[in-house]
Every structure is written in structure tokens, then in C-alpha cells.
């Protein structure tokens, strides 16, 4: 195996060669930021926010109008709290305003187009410059650093590639990077993945929560061990407690959760103490009370890295809350917690009742006879649990699912028909994810989980 320092230098050289050297320079600056005392971080964040606001109010037609309508002078902007004077930027506004959200100062031909996924909603299009994209990737890389994964250490990535990554895995002894296609979690494939991991000895595995969970159960079933893995990083989907426990058991490693969205790939990431630290230099996050019961608040984010298409008070569709105090790890980036993830994970039932889907999937996580499952809301009065049983446990899965469905029936009344279907595989989305819930009921409901762009160290 190539030593870590040499591999790190090789990765930098290769990235520089293909125009991606910016992420390494940005990473150094962001690591320095994360080492600052909190007061200095907040000062710097305020300075960056004021610069972004002035830029948006003077060079972006939509924001110029918004400031004029609200009779606001961008030069009066002093504090993060001043954001509350501005309107909330919704996905509908982004669709309707289009180019009016772009800065007149940027060369439009040089912009990188990004699209959000979505199974029912039309995709959302937004733009970044190459330099902004490199900054975003650097923030993702810093998330790994906060979890103790150093640049150049071997990594495995489980992602929606939609094809086997033969070449990439062939040169893994040199690059230290393994790639697994989240689309193809068959037992045979996963056996090969475990072989690869045992040979290349990655210190970190990262990928979608759902895919990590499937692989972890497979590893447990095979009683395989992966002593090299120290950290499993879960990204791009809400990570539930039951999943976290099983992933830790399967991989025999600490799980860290990373929060981001397609628009701003890394907003927060967990350290090894299990605290989720906000990337204060990447975004301002507001937690807004919208009269929904419970401790979590609606997240509005203002990206401090987006100048081509400023995202200010953007309603990303997540719920979370700020946590006071500091973490024992020594990093003073402020803390937050995700409680339920996507706001849209709510089913409307015929009674008019709206039920958070965790009511359905929490009991299903306790069924260790299942490899994986998906809850499909096929009609207002029809909910189907599609499940893949573990090898040779089909009969047990069928019995235990029937018990769970009987319990659903007595909780939610006879107006909803609950059914179970045992299958061999559950189809993945275009990006290789497997949403825990899907719905064909509401047109205006997006069931997609956040899609993010990721880089490895």
C-alpha cells in the first residue's frame, strides 16, 4: 500500500491537474476557521453576511427589488438577526424568478448548473461558479477532518453511480479510494465489497444512510469484520437512531452524521463526540418557529459561499434546532440537532389526520428479519409496506409484518388499508437512493431526500 502522505500528495496533484486544486486551498482556510474561538467565528460570519447582502442587493435583480419593496438599505444590515426583515426564498420563487436570481456580475457561460432530484416535484435548477463549487467541496472535506479522517487516508464510498466502478476499484491500492454502487446491493455484490474493504483497509466508509444500513446488515449476517474502519459517515438522507445502531454494529465503527442539501452540500457534521457542528463559514442557519408542535424549527439557510446565485433565507424543507453550549471535542463551531428531517415526511390520511411517517417506520426498524423496506403511500386510504426479507427468513418476515400492520390498523382506524409485499429488491431512485417513504398522493409533495454532491479526501 502507498503511504498516506504520498497518497495525499498524489490526490492533490491529480485534482490540480483537472482543475480541482481549489478545494485543497479552501480546505486549509476552512480548517483554520474551525480552530478559531467562537466569538471570532461569529465576527467573521457577520462580516461575510454583510458582504453577501450588499452584493445581492446591488447586482441581483430579484434581491434589488426585494430590498426596494421592503424599503431596506443593505448598508443598514449589521447583524444576523437583521435577516428577519427579508422575505423567505421558497422553491416556488426560485422556479418563477429564474435568471432574475443570478448576479449581473457573473459570466453566465462559466456557471455550473446543478439540479435537485425529486420523484414527484419538478427539479429545481440553480447555479454556482467553479470557485464556489470548490469551496462547497472543501466544506464537505472538512466534515471528514472533524471526524478524524485525514486527507489521503483510504475511504470507501457507497453512492448512486448506476454502474460498477471497476477501473476505480482496480487502482484502489494506489488511490486508496473504493467505490460501490448503491443501486446494486445484492448479496453477491456486497460479498465482493466486503472483500475489497478487507484488502484496501479503508478507515472510513461513507454513503446514504439507507445504503449503509443495508450493507451493515449484510456484514452482520455474514459475521464479517472490517477492523480498518474507524468511522462510517452517513450523508444525504436522514439517519434514524435504529439505523445508526445497526450500522455501528455491522461495521464495528463509530457513525457520524453529516447534514447538507443539494443546494449547500455541507451545512453541519458530527464530530467523534457525536455533536453536530454547524459550518458557520459556509452558511447562516436560522431556526424559525412556524407554530408546528415540538422542539424543532423550520430551517432557513443563507449560503455564504453562493455569489453567482445568492440563496438568502432559503426554505430548504428541513426541520432542526440549535443547541446551546460547547462540545467537549474542543471545536467551537456551534451545535445543532436534526429531529425529523424533511418536513414533507408526513402522510395525509382520509380522516384529515396528518401523521409523521416515523410512526410507520419506527416499528419496522425493530424487525431484524428484514434486509430493508419502503413505505409506499399509494392512495389516500392505501399504505403498502414493501420489504426484502433476510435470507431464509421470509416466513418470519411475513408473520411479523402482519403483526405490525394489525397494530397500524388499530392506531389509524379502518379507513386506511395497510398491506405488506415481500420482494427481492426495492427499486432505487435515479440517484441510487432508496427513500424510506414514497407517496403518490399529493402533487405538491416532494418525497425526495436531499441530494448532495460529495468529495473524498
Provide the binding-site residues for Zn ion, judged by CB under 5 A.
271, 273, 275, 327, 329
Name the residue nearer to Zn ion (CB basis): 277 or 377.
277
Name the residue nearer to Zn ion (CB basis): 214 or 267.
267
What minimum distance in Å lies between the beta carbon of 254 and Zn ion? 13
What minimum distance in Å lies between the beta carbon of 112 and Zn ion? 32
Q: Is the dihedral of CA 363, 369, 372, 373 positive or negative?
A: negative
Name the residue nearer to Zn ion (CB basis): 271 or 320.
271
Q: Which residues pair with 451 in a beta bridge?
A: none
Name the residue nearer to Zn ion (CB basis): 326 or 440.
326
Question: How many Cβ atoms sit within 10 Å of the Cβ of residue 245?
Answer: 14
Q: Tell me how far CA of residue 394 lies from CA of 361, 376, 401, in angstroms.
A: 19, 20, 10
Distance CA 273, CA 279 (A): 16
What minimum distance in Å lies between the beta carbon of 256 and Zn ion? 10
How far separated are the first and last CA of the chain, in Å rounded? Answer: 17
Identify which of 64, 86, 68, 69 has the alpha carbon closest to the alpha carbon of residue 77: 86
What minimum distance in Å lies between the beta carbon of 333 and Zn ion? 8
Identify which of 367, 401, 370 has the alpha carbon closest to the alpha carbon of residue 384: 401
Q: Which residues contact 363 (CB under 8 A, 6 or more apart)?
A: 404, 407
Ranges assigned E (strand) in 209-310: 231-235, 254-259, 268-270, 276-278, 283-288, 297-303
What minimum distance in Å lies between the beta carbon of 218 and Zn ion? 31
Distance CA 356, CA 116 (A): 23
Name the residue nearer to Zn ion (CB basis): 219 or 333.
333
Q: Tell me how far CA of residue 242 lies from CA of 194, 236, 355, 362, 391, in angstroms.
A: 22, 17, 20, 8, 21
Backbone angles phi, psi at 152, to 5 degrees: 95, -10
Name the residue nearer to Zn ion (CB basis): 218 or 277.
277
Distance CA 339, CA 247 (A): 19
Q: Which residues contact 131 (CB under 8 A, 6 or more apart)?
A: 22
Name the residue nearer to Zn ion (CB basis): 136 or 275.
275
Name the residue nearer to Zn ion (CB basis): 93 or 329.
329
Q: Are 259 and 236 in contact (CB under 8 A)?
A: no
Name the residue nearer to Zn ion (CB basis): 329 or 369.
329
What minimum distance in Å lies between the beta carbon of 39 and Zn ion? 18
Distance CA 52, CA 55 (A): 5
Q: Are 205 and 233 in contact (CB under 8 A)?
A: yes
What minimum distance in Å lies between the beta carbon of 325 and Zn ion? 11
Name the residue nearer to Zn ion (CB basis): 84 or 322.
322
What minimum distance in Å lies between the beta carbon of 327 and Zn ion? 3
Distance CA 185, CA 255 (A): 20
What minimum distance in Å lies between the beta carbon of 271 and Zn ion? 3
What minimum distance in Å lies between the beta carbon of 276 and Zn ion? 8
Identify which of 175, 216, 140, 201 has the alpha carbon closest to the alpha carbon of residue 453: 140
What minimum distance in Å lies between the beta carbon of 34 and Zn ion? 10
Name the residue nearer to Zn ion (CB basis): 330 or 414.
330
Question: How many Cβ atoms sit within 10 Å of the Cβ of residue 303?
Answer: 22
Name the residue nearer to Zn ion (CB basis): 149 or 387.
149
Instruction: Using DSSP, state whether 350 is helix, strand or coil.
Output: coil
What minimum distance in Å lies between the beta carbon of 270 and Zn ion? 8
Q: Tell me how far CA of residue 86 lies from CA of 57, 76, 311, 317, 397, in angstroms.
A: 11, 13, 12, 18, 52
Give the DSSP letter of residue 451. Answer: P
Amino acid at each position: 500500500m502507498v503511504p498516506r502522505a504520498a497518497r495525499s500528495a498524489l490526490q492533490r496533484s491529480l485534482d490540480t491537474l483537472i482543475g480541482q486544486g481549489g478545494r485543497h486551498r479552501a480546505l486549509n482556510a476552512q480548517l483554520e476557521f474551525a480552530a478559531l474561538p467562537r466569538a471570532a467565528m461569529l465576527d467573521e460570519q457577520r462580516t461575510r453576511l454583510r458582504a453577501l447582502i450588499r452584493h445581492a442587493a446591488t447586482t441581483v435583480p430579484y434581491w434589488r427589488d426585494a430590498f426596494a419593496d421592503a424599503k431596506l438599505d443593505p448598508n443598514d444590515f449589521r447583524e444576523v438577526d437583521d435577516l428577519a426583515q427579508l422575505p423567505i426564498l421558497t422553491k416556488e420563487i426560485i422556479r418563477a424568478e429564474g435568471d432574475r436570481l443570478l448576479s449581473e456580475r457573473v459570466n453566465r457561460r462559466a456557471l455550473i448548473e446543478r439540479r435537485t432530484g425529486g420523484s414527484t416535484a419538478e427539479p429545481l435548477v440553480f447555479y454556482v461558479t467553479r470557485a464556489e463549487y470548490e469551496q462547497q467541496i472543501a466544506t464537505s472535506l472538512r466534515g471528514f477532518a472533524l471526524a478524524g479522517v485525514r486527507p489521503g487516508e483510504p475511504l470507501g464510498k457507497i453512492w448512486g453511480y448506476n454502474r460498477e466502478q471497476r477501473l476505480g476499484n482496480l487502482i484502489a491500492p494506489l488511490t486508496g479510494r473504493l467505490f460501490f454502487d448503491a443501486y446494486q446491493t445484492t448479496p453477491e455484490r456486497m460479498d465482493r465489497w466486503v472483500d475489497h474493504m478487507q484488502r484496501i483497509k479503508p478507515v472510513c466508509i461513507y454513503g446514504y444512510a439507507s445504503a449503509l444500513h443495508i450493507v451493515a446488515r449484510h456484514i452482520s449476517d455474514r459475521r464479517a469484520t472490517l477492523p480498518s474502519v474507524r468511522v462510517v459517515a452517513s450523508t444525504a438522507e436522514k439517519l434514524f437512531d435504529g439505523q445508526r445502531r445497526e450500522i455501528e454494529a455491522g461495521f464495528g465503527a463509530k457513525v457520524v452524521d453529516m447534514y447538507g442539501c443539494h443546494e449547500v452540500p455541507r451545512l453541519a457534521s458530527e464530530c467523534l463526540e457525536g455533536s453536530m457542528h454547524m459550518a458557520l463559514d459556509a452558511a447562516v442557519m436560522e431556526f424559525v418557529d412556524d407554530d408546528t408542535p415540538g422542539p424543532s424549527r423550520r430551517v432557513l439557510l443563507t449560503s455564504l459561499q453562493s455569489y453567482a446565485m445568492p440563496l438568502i433565507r432559503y426554505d430548504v424543507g428541513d426541520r432542526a434546532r440549535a443547541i446551546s453550549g460547547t462540545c467537549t471535542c474542543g471545536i467551537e463551531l456551534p451545535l445543532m440537532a436534526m429531529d425529523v428531517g424533511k418536513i414533507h415526511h408526513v402522510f395525509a390520511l382520509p380522516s384529515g389526520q396528518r401523521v409523521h411517517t416515523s410512526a410507520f417506520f419506527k416499528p419496522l426498524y425493530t424487525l431484524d428479519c428484514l434486509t430493508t423496506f419502503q413505505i409506499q403511500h399509494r392512495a389516500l386510504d392505501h399504505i403498502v409496506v414493501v420489504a426484502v426479507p433476510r435470507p431464509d427468513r421470509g416466513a418470519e418476515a411475513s408473520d411479523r409484518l402482519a403483526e405490525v400492520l394489525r397494530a397500524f390498523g388499530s392506531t389509524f382506524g379502518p379507513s386506511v388499508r395497510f398491506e405488506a409485499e415481500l420482494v427481492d429488491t426495492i427499486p432505487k431512485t435515479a440517484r441510487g437512493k432508496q427513500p424510506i417513504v414514497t407517496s403518490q398522493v399529493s402533487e405538491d409533495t416532494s418525497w425526495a431526500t436531499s441530494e448532495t454532491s460529495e468529495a473524498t479526501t
